[in-house]
Structure 1
Amino acid sequence: MSADPFRPFETNLDQQTALRLLNEATAGADDGELFLERRKSEVLSFDDGRVKTASFDASEGFGLRAVKGETAGYAHSTTIDEHALRRAVATARLAVGDGGGTMAAAPAGTNRKLYSDEDPMLQASFPAKVDVLREIDAFARGLDKRVVQVSATLAASHQEVLILRPEGTLVTDTRPMSRLNVSVIVEQNGKRESGAAGGGGRAGLIGLISRDNWESTTREALRIALVNLDAEAAPAGVMDVVLGPGWPGILLHEAIGHGLEGDFNRKGSSAFAGLMGQQIAAKGVTVLDDGTIPDRRGSITVDDEGTPSAKNTLIEDGVLVGYMQDRQNARLMGVAPTGNGRRESYAHAPMPRMTNTYMLAGDAAPESLVADLKDGIYAVGFGGGQVDITNGKFVFSCTEAYRVKNGIVGAPVKGATLIGDGATALKQIRGIGNDMELDPGMGNCGKAGQWVPVGVGQPSLMIGGLTVGGAAA
């Protein structure tokens, strides 16, 4: 640890003064922290043969929190100095009042490092990044004469956080992130369809902008577009569905994952509230939230309260065994924090959030799941979705799906939506593939107006009796 840990931040605030003011804010509180953040980000977009966007953003600031029972006082500022911190103390103390509290124990320390400190934006020059995007555009157009538009985006960020607690514990983390996205539009006989592919993680740009990577990403985007060019209208009705591995785990994330976050369960608003220890899913279903996977998009060495991330089992062999917890909800529920206290930035208070949420593999060959599908949909790609946490009901749109009859994969279908509820879908899982995959690194999760990067994953799954919305059969 540097003798001056506040030095990277443009501030005349020293650690001793910050700690003294933090203690003023949290006197009589149950918990609290000072969260400092410095972030830089860059986005380059190449669209229709030219640079469309070239943006760079830099920000820094602090958030001060004091927690008492179910109440939290929070104040933040883009100015990091003693005057701004004193004003924040007065605001945060409004949640504490005059009553005495017992300060929660500090989070355990860790020497683990899950990703590099290196700034990915510095790994290639601006002209080199533009050249890669231009090459992607030319490559995609050269693959198929039906390509009429290509969009390619490189994004990278570098976040530094410092978390100071009232007892003097100081935790730091430096978090890189990079991502490449390619979208292709094709046209044939007046009909246009699109396909997209991409990925990334908490690693540098070097791997993303290698020719092997961007060529395969571009080919995949084109493949999806061409599949959709030949797609028929999706059927409608209640039918069995086989989900492909990897990114389709976004359905698991939305329909089930949010319902297993601690705050929703403490307040009784989750469809899974009060079901701890009960069978909530089919036998064989084991779901984890794991923030400890090196270099993954949803991974965090420590969460935004300073708690080390963990590999948390949520559902084991169909039985609910755990929730994801931040410090406040864990204390109120009488359990340990799980390293899931996350926030979008210094301007936001932490709350229980997912990291990398996935289902473990089963023992079925994926092709056998499809072969057992008598009349249904094989869905391998998903777009947007919505879920109601209180009842677990979800609606998801498919970006790549196929009609299956008597175990034979037929024509691709477009316009398919999957409708159901998480609690029922869990119990209707009839087959679990042996092909668990994590997504390529493209997930963002929204909750209460805050967005954080996440990962998802699953093996191929057969789910019985989902409602498929589409055109009339």
Structure 2
Amino acid sequence: MTIPTAADHKRYFIDTLGVSERLMERCLGEALSAGGDYADLYFESVTSTSIGVDESLVKSASQGISVGCGIRVLSGERTGFAYTDDLSPERLLRAARTAALIASGPAKQQVQGFTSPTTPELYPVAGASTDAEIAGKLELILRADRAARAYDSRITQVRAGYNDELRRILVAASDGTFASDTQPLARFNVFVIAKDGTNTARGSSGGGGRITIEYFETVKTPEHFAREAARTAILQLGAIAAPAGEMPVVLGPGWPGVLLHEAVGHGLEADFNRKKTSAFAGLIGQQVASSKVTVVDNGIIPNRRGSLNVDDEGTPTRENVLIENGILRGYLSDKLSARLMGIPSTGSGRRESYQHITMPRMTNTYMLNGEDMPEDIIKSVKRGLYAVNFGGGQVDITNGKFVFSASEAYLIEDGKVTAPVKGATLIGNGPEALKYVSMVGNDLALDEGIGTCGKSGQSVPVGVGMPTVKLDKMTVGGTN
């Protein structure tokens, strides 16, 4: 395990891939040759491994390498973009000319001298995979398979998988930005099916982050994830039908923060607000939630799935306060939105790969601790729902309306958590729902490291979290 320096990150592209600073300057000059306010080059090299086991048999195994460069030119609100998987000078200059012609405009900027930002080192970087490491990864998966089957005889099917990647990036821009990073990412997943007669239930669990394989030996083991998936499935076998109607809802700590991510976080991304398609557009400085609610997006938490030393525009990430004591304080912005809206860039420019353009995205989004004891929050509810874990969900950014399905939930009766329920959905409006937050626990937890966020056809890794939270009323969809 090594902690490379910023110079090490850059040397990979210069020494290994043969991309010199002089070539980068030529490409930026070519990108701005037809006019434009700004241009950047995003070099990327990714090595990845994926292994899947189904019914104790290896059903998939792959390793891959991807290398390329995306070239972007901004002219006002126009974006010219081209990419190439060939890093020869001829292909890079051709891509730069293509992007220039798409975004041609009257302004013409000069390329400034490169300056490297000072960035933290938030995560360790492992070396390239070896055959022995592949064997070790497979053994982790088989351990999960065995542990899930041993949990209960009613577990009838087990699928498990391991995925990791090592992503190297270098960003060179006409404003002088010259930043690089090496980003590890790993994720472990377990899915099970349980049967009891004609009754069938499913359970899943997983985790990871910007970590090395040692994490799954020393912090969260395959047995941990296997038992959690099996526990959820067995629990659902005995669950009763969820109630329906308006009632108090208590959200558990950790992964239920995905509701906050979807119902509120996307609406606070600057591009939606610049275009006035977000329910939060024009509301900075106004009360948008209960005074007990403070929401942050934090890209500098060590080893977290959504963390980055620099974003995909070369801007150092940071902690951004979005909602403070119920007051909307700001949006998540990339360089384009920052310039057009006259606001700072928050280090939130992200992209799926060199083949995609940058847009404002979340990193690790969560609600801060309150002062209430979690047990007091439960005791305060006469009859309601306690939602511990969530599956899928949908949200309409324009009005904030959302629908989420709870994969693990319980009744609250007379201040006590009682029977598990199945088929529960939470229906509401993000900005409105936050106004009904009446109690916030002191037990903030982040998710296990499984979040992947989709936007405009692009997927990026993210983190979510929250403490135990009580909403005085929310519409619950159920079958009872």
Q: Is the 8 A contact 1:32 1:67 kept in 2?
A: yes
Write the distance in 1 (CA, Å) between the matches of 2:367 and 2:270. Answer: 19
Write the distance in 2 (CA, Å) between the matches of 1:211 and 1:313. Answer: 30
Q: Is the 8 A contact 2:111 2:174 kept in 1?
A: no
- Is 1:14 the counterpart of 2:20? The answer is yes
Query: 2:31 maps to what in 1?
Result: 25
Query: 2:242 maps to what in 1?
Result: 234
- Is 1:71 the counterpart of 2:78? The answer is yes
Write the distance in 1 (CA, Å) between the matches of 2:55 and 2:198. Answer: 19
Write the distance in 2 (CA, Å) between the matches of 1:261 and 1:104. Answer: 29
User: Which of 66, 73, 78 does residue 59 from structure 1 map onto?
Assistant: 66
Q: Is the 8 A contact 1:108 1:307 kept in 2?
A: no
Write the distance in 2 (CA, Å) between the matches of 1:26 and 1:49. Answer: 55
Query: 1:438 maps to what in 2?
Result: 446
Query: 1:149 maps to what in 2?
Result: 157
* Alignment CA distance shift 1:121-1:358 (3 Å): farther
* Alignment CA distance shift 1:102-1:286 (3 Å): farther
Write the distance in 1 (CA, Å) between the matches of 2:378 and 2:325. Answer: 23
Q: Is the 8 A contact 2:144 2:225 kept in 1?
A: no
* Alignment CA distance shift 1:374-1:185 (3 Å): same
Q: Is the 8 A contact 2:28 2:41 kept in 1?
A: yes
Shift of 1:281: 0.4
- Is 1:175 the counterpart of 2:175? The answer is no
- Structure 2 letter corresponding to 1:83: E
Q: Is the 8 A contact 1:296 1:441 kept in 2?
A: yes
* SS at 1:208 equivalent: helix
* Alignment CA distance shift 1:57-1:5 (3 Å): closer
* SS at 2:139 equivalent: helix
TM-score normalised to structure 1 length: 0.95
User: Which of 134, 158, 166 does residue 166 from structure 2 map onto?
Assistant: 158
Shift of 1:85: 1.6
Q: What is the root-mean-square deviation in Å for CA atoms of aligned residues?
A: 1.9
Query: Structure 1 unaligned runs (5+)?
Result: none
Q: Is the 8 A contact 2:143 2:222 kept in 1?
A: no
Shift of 1:8: 5.7
Query: 2:323 maps to what in 1?
Result: 315
Shift of 1:30: 1.7
User: Which of 459, 462, 466 does residue 451 from structure 1 map onto?
Assistant: 459
- Is 1:207 the counterpart of 2:222? The answer is no
User: Which of 311, 332, 337 does residue 345 from structure 2 map onto?
Assistant: 337
* Alignment CA distance shift 1:282-1:184 (3 Å): same
| Identity across the alignment (%) | 48
Write the distance in 2 (CA, Å) between the matches of 1:211 and 1:321. Answer: 36
Shift of 1:5: 5.2
Q: Is the 8 A contact 1:40 1:59 kept in 2?
A: yes
User: Which of 283, 292, 305 does residue 284 from structure 1 map onto?
Assistant: 292
Please give the residue correspondences for 1:42-57 in structure 2 after superposition, counting only pairs within 5 Å: 42-57=49-64
- Structure 1 letter corresponding to 2:137: K
Q: Is the 8 A contact 2:148 2:229 kept in 1?
A: no
TM-score normalised to structure 2 length: 0.94
* Alignment CA distance shift 1:321-1:376 (3 Å): same
Shift of 1:95: 4.0
- Structure 2 letter corresponding to 1:252: L
* SS at 2:305 equivalent: coil
* Alignment CA distance shift 1:377-1:131 (3 Å): same
* Alignment CA distance shift 1:8-1:411 (3 Å): farther
* SS at 1:137 equivalent: helix
Query: Structure 2 unaligned runs (5+)?
Result: 1-6
Write the distance in 2 (CA, Å) between the matches of 1:216 and 1:313. Answer: 33
Shift of 1:165: 1.4
Write the distance in 2 (CA, Å) between the matches of 1:212 and 1:325. Answer: 34
Shift of 1:74: 0.3
Aligned residues: 471
Write the distance in 2 (CA, Å) between the matches of 1:124 and 1:293. Answer: 31
